[in-house]
Amino acid sequence: MKREKKILSKEVISWAFYDWANSAFATTVMAGFFPLFFKSFWASNLTDAESTGMLGIANSLSGLLIVLIAPFLGAVADITFKKKYLLVFFMIIGTGSTASFFLIQQGDWILAMSAYIFACIGFSGGNIFYDSLIINVSSEQSRNKVSAFGYAMGYLGGGLLFVLNVFMYLQPAVFGLASQVDAILFSFLSVAVWWSFFTLPLIRYVKEKSGLFEKTSSINLIKKSFFRVMQTFREIREYKNLFYFLIAYWLYMDGIDTVVRMALAFGADIGLATSELIVALIITQFVGFPATIGFGFLADRYGLKLLLYVGIGIYICICFGGLVISSIYGFYIMAAIIGLVQGGVQSVSRAVFSTMIPEGKDSEFFGFYNLVGKSAVIFGPAMVGIVNYLFNDPRAGIISLLILFIPGLLMLRMVQIKEQ
């Protein structure tokens, strides 16, 4: 009789620690200090509209590059049974690029953009293999809770380091630093160390499914992965339910990722102070930790699809709310509401997708899952940045996200979801 995996086994906790680890990048760098520091330090010679536009383009370019390689990475992982090795490889790219921020001089926005693009590739590439390893550490019945636990650990870990980094920023002298600029640069270094160190539990305790791999040349491996990707493209079209879900996911996840990456730039553009925006991000993180776990339990009780409807519907309301926000208190309310649903929508989406994957193709299909999620980032941030620039109004950029959320919600209606 097959032994049922415990929901919070050593493997699950070790797996979830990678979310704890790399969420430091998502919080301190992607959502927190990088957008603000890019605008005020590296791109200080550009206008607000220009720097926001460049930030949107950087996010979109990183998404485009990961789109081009994600399916092939997944195929290689399934052929070679080397998910953990590939995860570590991309973790090194991400941490090395993040650490390099420390060396980039004021005004050198092109170099800062380039390093950021590589850091995002490391972050997104590692997540392909992290997401696919959920198959190894959980049963189908426990997957939604395990997925929610991973995202919740990410909120907590990323939030704790971000709070420390905020203290460094507000009180640099306490940490022996000369200025707030030095504090932010050292914060980027702390992310690289945190991300590297807390990857160790996954490396040590998460076991991959074993399989036979015939050693071959790099050329043959590339050929095999290419043909496997082409086969998967054909298969995905045959799995109509999965195909419809990926379209819906592409649309609404584009909106969610754009909110994550551009929210603080939006706040800065409407005149809110940097310290106030940082507090808003902390609110999102610490609301997100219990809310994501609660979202997972509610999804088990009331249905995965219903909770996705609720989460996407709330994001639509947030877009309209952006039209009237003029004070920091309104921004704090928006930050808390985002924290209530952001991790929950992501974790439920991952759990739903994991139930649709053919056996033995988890990395490959999660490669397409990440392709869909990250290809969305090609469009969303660039759209917000361009609309902001054309209308010279950040609120126009936020309301443009309805182009993504509303069709995503409608497309989700066509998906039949297997409730757990």
Taking only the tens place, the pLDDT of each residue in 262-301 is: 777 788 778 888 778 888 888 888 898 888 888 888 888 8
pLDDT band at 185 (very low <50, low <70, confident <90, very high): very high
For 309-355, the pLDDT digits (tens) are: 999 999 999 889 888 888 888 889 988 999 899 888 988 888 888 77
pLDDT score, position 377: 62
How far, in Å, CA of 71 to CA of 134, rounded? 18
pTM for this entry: 0.75
Q: Which of 21-30, 97-106, 385-394 has the lowest average pLDDT?
A: 385-394
pLDDT band at 1 (very low <50, low <70, confident <90, very high): very low
Q: Which residue has the higher pLDDT, 246 or 355?
A: 246
Phi/psi of residue 222, each to 5°? -65, -40
- 215 has a pLDDT exceeding 60: no
Residue labelled with tokens 């994501």? 292
Give Dmax over CA atoms of the chain in angstroms. 66
For 293-317, the pLDDT digits (tens) are: 888 888 888 888 899 999 999 999 9
- 368 has a pLDDT exceeding 80: no
Q: Which of 159-168, 212-221, 317-326 has the lowest average pLDDT?
A: 212-221
Q: Which of 10-19, 97-106, 225-234, 401-410 has the lowest average pLDDT?
A: 225-234
How far, in Å, CA of 74 to CA of 79, rounded? 9
The average pLDDT across 370-389 equals: 72
CATH of 10-206+220-412, one of 3.40.920.10, 3.30.300.180, 3.40.630.30, 1.20.1250.20: 1.20.1250.20
Buried b (16+ CB within 10 A) or exposed e, 187-213: bbebbbebbbebbebbeebbebeeeee
Query: Which residues touch 333 (CB under 8 Å, ≥6 apart)?
Result: none
